[in-house]
Structure 1
Amino acid sequence: MEILLLLVVLVVVLFAVKDIRRNLITRPVFGFFKRVLPPMSATEREAMEAGDVWWDAELFSGRPDWQKFLAMTPPQLNQREQDFVDNQLAKLLDMLDDFRIVQQDRDLPKAVWDYLRKERFFAMIISRDYGGLDFSPAANSYIVSRIASRSISAAVSVMVPNSLGPGELLSHYGTSEQKDYWLPRLAEGKDIPCFALTGPEAGSDAGAIPDEGIICKGEHDGKEVVGIRLNWDKRYITLAPVATVLGLAFKLYDPDGLLGDKKALGITCALIPTDHSGVKHGDRHFPLNQAFMNGTTSGEDVFIPLEWIIGGIDYAGKGWRMLVECLSAGRGISLPALATATGHVTQRMTGAYSYVRQQFGLPIGKFEGVQASMGQIGGLNYTLESMRRLTITALCQGKSPSVVTAMTKYHMTEMGRQVMDHAMDVHAGKGIQLGPKNYLGHGYMATPVSITVEGANILTRNLMIFGQGATRCHPYVLKEMDAASNSNVDEGLAQFDQLLLKHMGFALSNWGATIGHALTSSCFAEKPVSGETVRYYQHLTRFSRALAYTADVAMLTLGGDLKRKEMLSARLGDVLSHLYMGSAVLKRFEDEGRQAADLAFVHFALQRHLHEIAKAFSGFFDNLPNRVMATLLRLSVFPLGNRFKAPADDLAQQISESMMEPGVTRDRHTFLCFWKDDENDPTGHMEKAFLAMKALEPVYKRLQKAQKNGDIAADIYGDELAAAALEAELIDADTAEQLKDCERWRMGAIAVDSFAPGTLEKQKFYSTSKRKTSSAKS
């Protein structure tokens, strides 16, 4: 007993007496921390410090405040935005013929371009003071999603000017003169913008752009002025072929010291009219059979005045910070909007097609193999829409959470790919034959575009989500890094000492809570609600604690190597991401009034997210180089084993049945899917066929039974089926006419396009003699 008491006293003295603690604990840890601190370039630090932390920090802390989270008001359109949706957007959607746009014209019709300019679709983010629409992120997301459900090419054309680019950069950083000149022109559509960052040698490593500007004297408007001599070669630039003003990112140098002593100023952004002398643009890329304008731009010895730097001379060299600060909002709206549109379209159309398409006398949606894919579509789409809403909530609050938008971009585009793959599996031949009747083909081909842009998904998952999240979201690590890098060692040590004490308490608390929740199956975690979803909150809290604890151990044992262990850090990023997605689903369920009809979707989504979290933890423990620490971590997180399983089959079956049932639930889950009330429209025709068949569902069941009993032939359809049923007195004359109409709808819905010999051969995009490749000096 005396020995135990003595140990307690020693521990208290060790930590309570400042001088003893600093010399025996803090100073050695401080030295170790400085050694293992991962090296961070200037561009990495700027990216790390850009944007905000939000709900991601709560999840990473191990102590998510569910009451505060659920109290957040979901985003709503204001009356002006709703009027635009009901009128201008509705008219635009009616104007779009995606088959003609992609396969025939490979461009938006002139009438559409003119309408987009006239109604200021390119100016949703520009202030009304300059003639823009000044719409909220909620309206921006909704509008882009609805357009994408009709035409990806049109949606991309609209979303790019409203994402990272001249409009946003000018709004945040432009001088008064730049704003007064350019923003009204952009708002009115007099000028079409593009922004050029990516080049042959700079993709994911945007900081490595070779394009450069040299500060020198030159002639502009007949006068000798100090300006910039530019050389650049960019590719993959959306809207470049039609842009009239070019936003350009380049590295700026001042070898003659015309602006000061600093020779290398850093990445800078400038705005250049595309008709300026030396600017070359117009060549198009052909991104996976999509018709949106995407191409190259280059310039050789192009001289511009310093006033063309966005923000003026004071922002020379500050371009990278400008870009990363603005990227978060666009990354949280544009590509997630496309992915969500894919989810809504595939759920609505696959549900209809699975009922309309029959095999062996039954709708194919009644077969379990098809239901497995349908369950994935419905379950993933519920998460997609939930995640879209939650991320938009942050943006509408004025937040710009860089980690959240990285998670959103990566996981939503990946889920968009998955739902499209499942939809193609169900549609089979209907999905692969391109033509006016195909509503999936162009979306399927466009899916990899979202995967690769605004931070390729491999980069986003392996480097950004946890790489930024571990530092930005952790309550102490970024502050400790600042203390360790303090040039005043004594001051840094004092700062580090206070942080270390708190950090140790934080880590011990999370370790104890992780084990406690694991041993009690989370039963004592917070219960912010009651009912069928309560256990999900508790399990998410458990894994939030486990993530905080595991991340601390990973950073302690791996140090700077964690940055290079991309497969390991990606798994911890997956944990954070699925915590975010799971919470998004729960919030949507509460915001929509806890709809009982949604429970199968909610259970499917949460069981999937918990299973993926557990799988990511297991993968991390399996591959952690320090096997002793891996074992200790596994015993802390899963002392009773990993019991989190993938969603059960019955949930997929419940979802598939819901997808084949018209009504309020189907409409709520697929409201972003535009379908035209026109039998010549592919989505409209499918919708009409589906509703007609549901109306005659009792009749079809009666006929199927008669065919099985041999009362009528089993291999007939259309008018022949109606005539046989009438002759067998299974239906009356009026019902026979309804059946004929319904059969015509059904056969039209499952039909695919075919083309007369020579028709397709005449649609040549370019001659072989004019083919070009995009490379340096192309």
Structure 2
Amino acid sequence: MTTTEDLKQTTPPPLNAHDFLNIDASLSDEERLIRDTVRGFVRRDLLHRLPDAYDNAYLPDDFPRAAGELGLLGMHLQGYGCPGTSAVAYGLACLELEAGDSGLRSFVSVQGSLAMFAIWRYGSEEQKQTWLPAMAEGKAIGCFGLTEPDAGSDPSGMRTTARFEDGQWVLNGSKMWITNGSKAHVAVVWAKTPDGIRGFVVPRHTPGFSTRDIKHKMSLRASTTSELVFEDCRLPTSAALPQATTLRAPLSCLTEARYGIIWGAVGAARACYEAALDYSTTRTQFGRPIAGFQLTQRKLVEMLTEVNTSLMLALHLGRLKDAGQLHPQQVSFGKLHNVQSALDVARSARTILAANGITLEYPVMRHMANLESVLTYEGTGEIHTLIVGHAITGVAAFH
């Protein structure tokens, strides 16, 4: 016989307009603690400053150290001062950072999943000891030099070269669209050598290495984006990453960064949905809140569906990554879906906010503009489509 106590135990929790599918229940206590800690940090210390940072095109100066103190830099790496958290915990941190602004998540992603990961995975013990502890604390900032003015989707077409001369490596060339470029204390740079593509650790003040910031951006404004220039930049033999000797090395770093984007896009989408939901319940037209109109409810439900679906996808891929079962092609699937979904949510949210949606008083237009960059960096939507297409057909549409 079913008792009252049995009924209490099987009664589902109340529906939540923000977590409609109760995905929170799938997280561990530690994962929820990390998520809530990062969420509190963003909302308490950063959210009120982000409109001005975006408007005036700067990353808050104190953010790198604060992120380091919180353990967000290289948080999924083991040793060398890195916390060694799970992939899911790292993803949740990316989600909460990008719910603030893509610039925050981009900084953490480039620092931890590109620059630090490259040194951690492919560097010498000396390189690891020299850079990783300081980078984990936010005392040293890194950047990742792969993309060039004429080599984006096809990094094998890079023109930056490294030749070995008189016992030194000599770099010549340039890199473009480099997050953290002019702020970086160290750059991980990829160049063609006679024996293939190699990676190099280039300290900021190395003669022949200079940077130029990219101005007049309309997207990712709360983030530093630069050009890296190498003019007979001479490096000791110890600057080469000993384990990085082919293009597979930088591509594996990109896979790490793309994984964080899968989660970050959910954060941007959630912020837009929540702004639209809140606005719709307080904005009155024709004598009642616009949330009471059928077309508005349809938009809100479609946004909710996208946010919750994208979060489930991110969590599933995170569990696969923690189990060592995640394929790069599945990461492409996740980035392709979640970024496009986030853009759809942002655009729909903007229509609910109407004219208010284009101001920095609300986060929607800021996220929408940022997502246009997220859509194309770390692999365009077209490239990820072809990666997944190759995986399911066995036929490569590009080489």
- Distance (Å, rounded) in 1 between the aligned partners of 2:26 and 2:162: 43
Structure 2, unmatched stretches of 5+, are 1-24
TM-fit CA distance, 1:412? 0.9
In terms of fraction of residues, the more strand-rich structure is 2
Give 2:59's aligned residue. 108
State the match for 1:192 in structure 2: 141
Contact 1:77 1:138 in 2 (8 A): no
Whichever of the two has the greater Rg, that structure is: 1
Counterparts of 1:14-25 in structure 2 under 5 Å?
A: none
Name the aligned partner's letter for residue 264 of structure 2.
L
SS at match of 1:233: strand
Q: What is the rounded CA distance, in whole Å, between the counterparts of 1:397 and 1:446 in structure 2?
A: 32
Aligned partners of 1:146, 1:269: CA distance in 2, in Å? 31
Unpaired segments of 5 or more residues in structure 1?
1-73, 218-225, 254-264, 472-554, 556-561, 567-778
1:479-521 alpha-carbon deviations (Å, 9 max, x no partner): xxxxxxxxxxxxxxxxxxxxxxxxxxxxxxxxxxxxxxxxxxx
What residue number does 2:175 align with? 234
Choose the corresponding residue for 2:235, options 282, 293, 304: 304
User: Which residue, 374, 386, 392 being the options, matches 1:450?
Assistant: 374
Change (3 A) 1:291 1:76: same
Report the Cα offset of residue 78 of structure 1: 6.1
Q: What aligned pairs does 1:722-741 form with structure 2 within 5 A after superposition?
A: none
Q: Deviations over 1:42-76 (max 9, x none)?
A: xxxxxxxxxxxxxxxxxxxxxxxxxxxxxxxx974
SS in 1 for 2:108: helix
How far apart, CA to CA, are the structure 2 residues paired with 1:367 and 1:379? 18
Report whether the alignment pairs 1:201 with 2:150: yes
Distance 2:317 2:144 in 1: 24
Q: 2:186 aligns with which of 245, 253, 275?
A: 245
Residues 180 and 226 in structure 2, CA contact (< 8 A), matched pair in contact too: yes
**Aligned counterparts, 1:75-114, within 5 A:** 76-77=27-28, 79=30, 83-87=33-37, 90-96=40-46, 97-104=49-56, 106-114=57-65
- Kindly provide the amino acid, as one letter, of the partner of residue 67 in structure 2: L
Distance (Å, rounded) in 2 between the aligned partners of 1:286 and 1:335: 24
Which amino acid is the alignment partner of residue 269 of structure 1?
G
Tell me, in whole angstroms, the C-alpha distance in 1 between the residues paired with 2:302 and 2:84: 37
Alignment pair present for 1:281 and 2:211:
yes
Separation (CA, whole Å) in 1 of partners of 2:172 and 2:256: 30
User: Aligned letter for 1:204?
Assistant: S
The equivalent of 2:269 in structure 1 is 343
Q: Output the amino acid matched with 1:385.
A: L
CA distance, structure 2, for counterparts of residue 377 and residue 89 of structure 1: 21
Secondary structure, counterpart of 1:300 in structure 2 = strand
**Residue 44 of structure 2 aligns to which amino acid in structure 1?**
D
Decide whether the 8 Å contact of 1:241 with 1:281 is kept in 2.
yes
Shift of 1:230: 0.9
Cα separation, 2, equivalents of 1:335 and 1:88: 16
- Residue of structure 1 equivalent to 2:98: 148
Q: CA deviation at 1:448?
A: 0.4
1:257-282 Cα shifts (integer Å, max 9, x gaps): xxxxxxxx111111110111110114
- The answer on whether the counterparts of 1:77 and 1:139 sit within 8 Å (CA) in structure 2 is no
Which one of 106, 111, 125 corresponds to residue 76 of structure 2?
125
Decide whether the 8 Å contact of 2:34 with 2:89 is kept in 1. Answer: no
- Give the corresponding residue for 1:325: 252
Measured in 2, the distance between the counterparts of 1:115 and 1:382 equals: 30
Report the equivalent of 1:291.
222
SS in 1 for 2:233: strand
Residue 7 (structure 2) aligns with:
none
Q: CA deviation at 1:86?
A: 4.6
1:242 and 1:282 in contact (8 A); partners too? no
Instruction: Report the TM-score when normalising by structure 1.
Output: 0.46
Give a deviation string over 1:679-703, Cα, whole Å, max 9, x none. xxxxxxxxxxxxxxxxxxxxxxxxx
* RMSD after superposition: 2.2
SS of corresponding position for 2:62: helix
Please give the alpha-carbon distance, in whole angstroms, between the structure 2 residues aligned to 1:455 and 1:398. Answer: 23
SS in 2 for 1:341: helix
* Cα separation, partners in 2 of 1:287 and 1:337, compared to 1, 3 Å: farther
Q: 1:294 Cα shift?
A: 1.0
Q: Residues 402, 196 of structure 1: CA spacing in aligned structure 2 closer, same or farther, 3 A cutoff?
A: same
Instruction: Indicate the SS of the match to 1:110.
Output: coil
Query: Between Structure 1 and Structure 2, which shows a larger proportion of helix residues?
Result: 1
Counterparts of residues 528-677 of structure 1 (less than 5 Å): 563=397
SS of 1:302's equivalent in the other structure is strand
- The question of 1:397 aligning with 2:323 is answered yes
Decide whether the 8 Å contact of 1:126 with 1:187 is kept in 2: no
CA distance in 1, matches of 2:183, 2:251: 26
